Chain A
Amino acid sequence: MKRYYAQKLISAVFVLFIIITLNFFLPRMMFDDPAQPYYAGVPEDAYALRQEIREANGFNDPLIVQYGAYLGRLFTLNFGTSYIYKEPVFQVMFSRIPWSLVITLTSMVVSVIVGILIGAYVGKRREMTADKVLLGFSTVTTAIPSFWLALVSIMLLAFIIPIFPYRGAMTPGYTLGFHTIPFLVVFLLFIAAAIALRIILRKSIFLFTVIPAGLLVALLVAVPPADVLDVLYHAALPLIVVIFGSCISYSLLVRNSMIAVTSEDYILTARAKGLPPRVVLYKHTFRNALLPLITNVGMSLSGLIGGSVLIEKIFSWPGMGQLLLEATNNGDYLLSQAILLLFAILTITFNLITDLVYHKFDPRVTRA
């Protein structure tokens, strides 16, 4: 068991190292002068001044020395100053993360719950009307690209029937009120409660349920209610678009796996034991049928912070996806470098967590 954890951890660290290295060399291969972001305001022909800036920021050192300095800066979370925002990259980035989470986390929680409910309902009714409706519907929805749906939703729900705003995360002129101390207090309390429950009742399920719930409650406490409503009002359209697509695909996933598991031999054993149908369903069918969903959700967790570039662009949502787009378009490579690194770290971390947690649900994986 320990070996399994160690192997996973070592390979994750190795992949991370490769990504960090690539992240260092890529801009140096892409741009003629990687010192570009440091020249802010310095005219093209001020060669001497430019040379000085290069020297001061270490761009004249041998590549290997630069690489070492880059690694050093990473460990102190110093990603440099953003070219477009004139602020530290770290700060710019982290001010955007909560906005992406509003869309991605909400839509994920809603679509997983809805997906499980629909999938389970339909999975028990194979080849009946509900099943045929879901299958037909999913064929159509998977064929619809999300940006098209986003545009149609703006046309329908913001112009023809103007009930929702179609751009921005808040009414113009407003800023989000946020009380850091109550947020931290409430969130830490919930984390402590989750750990206490885990230790007393010995069920890891509390870690997965109480902590996210705590995050939600803490956010509601920290942000004034009027602001919460304003944000949700603005988030309505992007949420509708994202949830629409993903809840159908989760439903389909759960439905398929329910059907596959229902015809498994061990379900017959469970029924032959004279277990009531609800026990067969929840303890035997469900527990096995949700395995593919766990993998799927684990994989998409890393996308939570990244947000969706297309959706955020269309709805002018100030999230990470938009930020990445801005950074790329304006050649702000220090910012895009940091964003890509963050995505990479998140992807690796969540895949690692999924791998490590998965065996709790499916004990067979340790053999592989």
Chain B
Amino acid sequence: MQPVLDIHGLKVLFRVGNTYIRAVEGVDITVGEGESVAIVGESGCGKSVTGLACMKLLAQQNAVYTAKKMTLQTKDGHVHDLLSESENGMLALRAEQIAMIFQDPSTFLNPVMTVGEQMDEVFLYHPGAVTQEDGKAAHKLSRDEAKRLSLEQFRRVGIPDPEMRYKQFPHELSGGLKQRILIAMATACKPRLLIADEPTTALDVTIQAQILDLITTLRRESGMSLLMITHDLGVVRAVAERCYVMYCGKIVEHGYVRDILEHPLHPYTKALIDTVPGLDDRVERFVQIPHNVPHPSQKPSGCFFSNRCAFCTGICQSAMPPLREPVPGRQTRCWFDKEELWEK
């Protein structure tokens, strides 16, 4: 079956001066229809860049990206090649087929426009997505029609007193409300795929749960697929069915969320899981992975994780392991099998 998003061998390079920094090095990601997939990894592993690349939103001048394949299947079943799609073509795909919400709701809303105006824009510039539904041809929306749709959309995402909120500016709203507005804008045209780039990172814990619930509810209602980008394993467990673990611009492990969280295959995944403190752990120090994520221009030779890996051996430092499939349906980028490692 044709997946909604099908990425094969995506590479993203950033030009800095005369050199190139490799942010993403050959990533394969698929998201099926109605499926919820997570990309998990530390800051700087390339997960956000991957999300932006799917939207073709990386700054044009200094980002270069190539892929063997990067396709998006739209609602009418048409398969678009995102790589060759023109900027004009992308304008129609964004919001209508593929939408994105971001990390910090307070900086991602325009401070000098009311949230209502910002919401209206989505409808005003994508009239086809809302007026074509009942079989009629698309027509331009009047401001009043856009406002009516906006208020309806505000209600859908659970914004209390939408009439009042419509007239307010972002700085007059709380973080949770702002994230709801961003979600309202992203899901206004009922896109095929929603990319959520750490949508709960800047929110406090109770609001986090509400926002995750909202995303799940919206997904159930419209059957849209979700690509959740996060560093939070709790979020992964709460919303995702399948999960990619990313490290230094490469996928290091892939499989169903439950399998990965309960029986990690890759030492990096295991280390990530070990760092999550439990409520009844009585420890002196939180577990941590030694050192930092290497800068993209100073990745170690061989396996990128070798300098931080507890199980590193000679071969790890000399050659990058391939993505193997030791168990059907699960992939890992490590020279060793789980049993060999965990027994050490």
Q: A residues bordering B, Cβ < 8 Å?
A: 264-266, 268-277, 279, 283-284, 287-288, 291, 361-364, 367
Contacts of A270 in B (CB 8 A): 110, 121
Q: Are A274 and B112 in contact (CB-based, < 8 A)?
A: no
Instruction: Write the chain A residue with the least CB distance to B95.
Output: A274
Instruction: Write the chain B residue with the least CB distance to A367.
Output: B171
Q: Which 6 A-B pairs have the closest CB atoms?
A: A274-B94, A274-B95, A265-B107, A266-B110, A363-B169, A265-B108
Interface residues of B in 44-62 (CB under 8 A from A): 55, 57
B260 at the interface (CB under 8 A from A): no
Q: In the complex, what's the smallest C-beta–C-beta distance from B185 to chain A, in angstroms?
A: 6
Contacts of B104 in A (CB 8 A): 265
Contacts of A279 in B (CB 8 A): 121, 125
| Chain B positions 110 through 149: 1 when the CB is less than 8 Å from some CB of chain A, otherwise 0 | 1111000000011001100000000000000000000000
Contacts between the two chains (Cβ within 8 Å), count:
80
Most buried by A among B94, B96, B112: B112
Q: Are B95 and A287 in contact (CB-based, < 8 A)?
A: no
Q: In the complex, what's the smallest C-beta–C-beta distance from A155 to chain B, in angstroms?
A: 44
How would you classify the secondary structure of chain A's contact residues: helix, strand, loop or mixed? helix
Contacts of B90 in A (CB 8 A): 274
| Chain B positions 168 through 193: 1 when the CB is less than 8 Å from some CB of chain A, otherwise 0 | 01010000000000100110000000
Q: Are A364 and B171 in contact (CB-based, < 8 A)?
A: yes
B109 at the interface (CB under 8 A from A): yes
Q: Are A275 and B111 in contact (CB-based, < 8 A)?
A: no
Contacts of B110 in A (CB 8 A): 266, 269-270, 284, 287-288
Contacts of B107 in A (CB 8 A): 264-266
Q: List 30 A-B contacts (CB under 8 A).
A: A265-B102, A265-B107, A266-B109, A266-B111, A268-B57, A269-B102, A269-B110, A272-B55, A272-B94, A272-B102, A273-B95, A273-B125, A274-B90, A274-B91, A274-B93, A274-B94, A274-B95, A274-B122, A274-B125, A275-B121, A275-B125, A276-B125, A277-B87, A279-B125, A284-B113, A291-B112, A361-B112, A362-B112, A363-B111, A363-B171
B99 at the interface (CB under 8 A from A): yes
Q: Are A363 and B108 in contact (CB-based, < 8 A)?
A: no
- What range describes how many residues of B lie at the interface? 20 to 34
Instruction: Write the chain A residue with the least CB distance to B109.
Output: A266
The residue from B95, B102, B122, B126 contacting A268, defined by CB atoms under 8 A apart = B102
A266 to B118, CA, bound (A): 10
Contacts of B109 in A (CB 8 A): 266, 269
B209 at the interface (CB under 8 A from A): no
Known: A268-B102, A364-B169. A273 touches B108 (CB 8 A): no
Instruction: Write the chain A residue with the least CB distance to B126.
Output: A274
Known: A269-B110, A362-B112. A274 touches B96 (CB 8 A): yes
A10 to B125, CA, bound (A): 45
Contacts of A276 in B (CB 8 A): 91, 125
A30 to B104, CA, bound (A): 60
Contacts of B182 in A (CB 8 A): 269
B276 at the interface (CB under 8 A from A): no
Q: Are A272 and B186 in contact (CB-based, < 8 A)?
A: yes
A277 to B90, CA, bound (A): 11
Q: In the complex, what's the smallest C-beta–C-beta distance from B140 to chain A, in angstroms?
A: 14
Q: In the complex, what's the smallest C-beta–C-beta distance from A295 to chain B, in angstroms?
A: 14
Q: Are A272 and B57 in contact (CB-based, < 8 A)?
A: yes
Q: In the complex, what's the smallest C-beta–C-beta distance from B183 to chain A, in angstroms?
A: 12
A364 to B112, CA, bound (A): 8
Q: Are A271 and B57 in contact (CB-based, < 8 A)?
A: yes
A271 to B56, CA, bound (A): 10
Q: In the complex, what's the smallest C-beta–C-beta distance from B84 to chain A, in angstroms?
A: 18
Q: Are A269 and B112 in contact (CB-based, < 8 A)?
A: no
B92 at the interface (CB under 8 A from A): yes
Q: Are A363 and B121 in contact (CB-based, < 8 A)?
A: no
Q: Are A266 and B108 in contact (CB-based, < 8 A)?
A: yes
Q: In the complex, what's the smallest C-beta–C-beta distance from A321 to chain B, in angstroms?
A: 37
Contacts of B112 in A (CB 8 A): 287-288, 291, 361-364
Instruction: Write the chain B residue with the least CB distance to A270.
Output: B110
Most buried by B among A270, A273, A284, A287: A273
| Chain B positions 5 through 18: 1 when the CB is less than 8 Å from some CB of chain A, otherwise 0 | 00000000000000
Instruction: Write the chain B residue with the least CB distance to A267.
Output: B110
Instruction: Write the chain A residue with the least CB distance to B107.
Output: A265
A264 to B182, CA, bound (A): 16
Q: In the complex, given contacts A269-B110, A272-B100, what are 20 additional A-B residue pairs having Cβ atoms less than 8 angstroms apart? A: A264-B107, A266-B108, A266-B109, A268-B102, A268-B108, A270-B121, A272-B94, A272-B102, A273-B99, A274-B94, A275-B91, A276-B125, A279-B121, A283-B113, A287-B110, A291-B112, A361-B112, A362-B111, A363-B112, A364-B169
